């Protein structure tokens, strides 16, 4: 398996040299990198979510600093951090729910049920505090194997109990990483098909005889406009060429190839056209878009 830092350095180099075209590709590769970081991160017995969050934050800060104007990078980092907190909360809630269920499952009668319900509430509250608060010295000592904490005795009950706790905690750490990675995989799948989901809403936003302005080349904008045409919307598109990279030429060719009324204009002509425009469609906020918006 490739070294995590080598993967991070390679992605940092691509961000600094602008070798990744488009926010969709940036977001996908960023999510895949963070998935690798999480997969290779060693998780301690205590504060497992905290260890994953610290690892993602450390890498995320480097990525954001490499290209601060590419907002997709910071958005994906924040999304992955939210996923970690969400999955950790889900596991904690399930653990507390299991404790509550086991505390009240052996009730014999109504009187005992009333007494045990009070005890159960106290146990659940104590478990929640123990799970959500930072690890204490006592917690760290409790994680010490029984064989190291107490002298050996003829009975193997203490050893088996310690091994059981250790195995349970190890299983929980694997469960957290597994759930987080699965959630990140779902996020990557959403990124890949996001242009299709956005295009489905085109008919709700584009109306008859509208004049639309766009900038640069974006697959999302292309699919969005084409979806509106497929729904029998009639409109005209003006594409600013986006100097000095002139990506607008690529988008204009694809729009014409799909039968849309398209006019390619210079960036300076935007000032003359803006009064006629009903809508501006931008695929993503990049350095090109930010430079373009400085004129308005």
Task: Outline where the chain has alpha helix (H).
Answer: 4-16, 23-40, 48-66, 71-104, 110-132, 137-142, 146-149, 157-192, 194-199, 202-205, 219-230, 248-257, 270-273, 287-293
Q: Span 239-266, mean pLDDT?
A: 91
pLDDT at 139 over 90: no
What is the rounded distance in angstroms from the CA atom of residue 201 to the CA atom of residue 183?
Answer: 25
The per-residue pLDDT for range 37-59, each reduced to its tens digit, is 999 998 887 888 999 999 999 99
Dihedral sign for Cα 17, 20, 26, 31, please: negative
Of all residues in the chain, what percent carry a pLDDT higher than 90? 39
Six-digit token pair at 171?
A: 């299983």
| 193 confidence band (pLDDT: 50, 70, 90) | confident
Assess whether the previous peptide bond of 244 is cis (omega < 30° from 0): yes
| 100 confidence band (pLDDT: 50, 70, 90) | low
Residues 6 or more apart whose CB falls under 8 angstroms from that of 295 comprise: 270, 271
> 237 φ, ψ to 5°?
-120, 130
Q: Span 220-225, mean pLDDT?
A: 90
The rounded mean pLDDT for the chain is 78
Angle at 178 between CA 176 and CA 182, to 5 degrees: 120
Angle at 267 between CA 197 and CA 206, to 5 degrees: 30
Dihedral sign for Cα 86, 87, 92, 96, please: positive
> What's residue 106's pLDDT?
52
What is the rounded distance in angstroms from the CA atom of residue 219 to the CA atom of residue 227?
Answer: 12
What is the rounded distance in angstroms from the CA atom of residue 105 to the CA atom of residue 94?
Answer: 16
> What's residue 227's pLDDT?
92
> What's residue 147's pLDDT?
39
């Amino acid at each position: 398996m490739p070294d995590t830092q080598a993967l991070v350095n390679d992605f940092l180099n691509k961000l600094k040299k602008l070798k990744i075209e488009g926010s969709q590709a940036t977001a996908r590769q960023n999510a895949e990198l963070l998935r690798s970081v999480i997969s290779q991160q060693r998780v301690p017995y205590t504060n497992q979510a905290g260890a994953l969050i610290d690892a993602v934050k450390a890498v995320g800060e480097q990525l954001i600093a490499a290209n601060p104007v590419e907002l997709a990078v910071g958005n994906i980092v924040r999304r992955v951090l939210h996923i970690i907190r969400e999955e950790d909360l889900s596991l904690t809630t399930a653990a507390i729910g299991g404790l509550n269920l086991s505390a009240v499952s052996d009730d014999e009668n109504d009187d005992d049920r009333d007494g045990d319900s009070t005890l159960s509430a106290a146990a659940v509250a104590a478990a929640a505090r123990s799970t959500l608060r930072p690890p204490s010295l006592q917690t760290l000592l409790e994680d010490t194997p029984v064989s190291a904490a107490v002298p050996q005795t003829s009975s193997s009950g203490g050893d088996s109990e310690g091994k059981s706790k250790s195995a349970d905690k190890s299983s929980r750490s694997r469960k957290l990483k597994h759930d987080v990675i699965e959630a990140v995989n779902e996020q990557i799948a959403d990124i890949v098909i996001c242009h299709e989901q956005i295009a489905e809403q085109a008919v709700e936003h584009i109306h008859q005889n509208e004049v639309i302005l766009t900038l640069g080349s974006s697959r999302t904008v292309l699919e969005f406009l084409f979806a509106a045409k497929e729904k029998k919307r009639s409109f005209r598109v003006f594409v600013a060429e986006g100097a000095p990279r002139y990506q607008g030429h690529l988008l204009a060719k694809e729009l014409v190839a799909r039968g849309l009324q398209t006019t390619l204009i210079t960036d300076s002509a935007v000032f003359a056209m803006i009064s006629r425009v009903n809508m501006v469609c931008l695929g993503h906020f990049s350095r090109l878009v930010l430079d373009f918006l400085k004129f308005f």
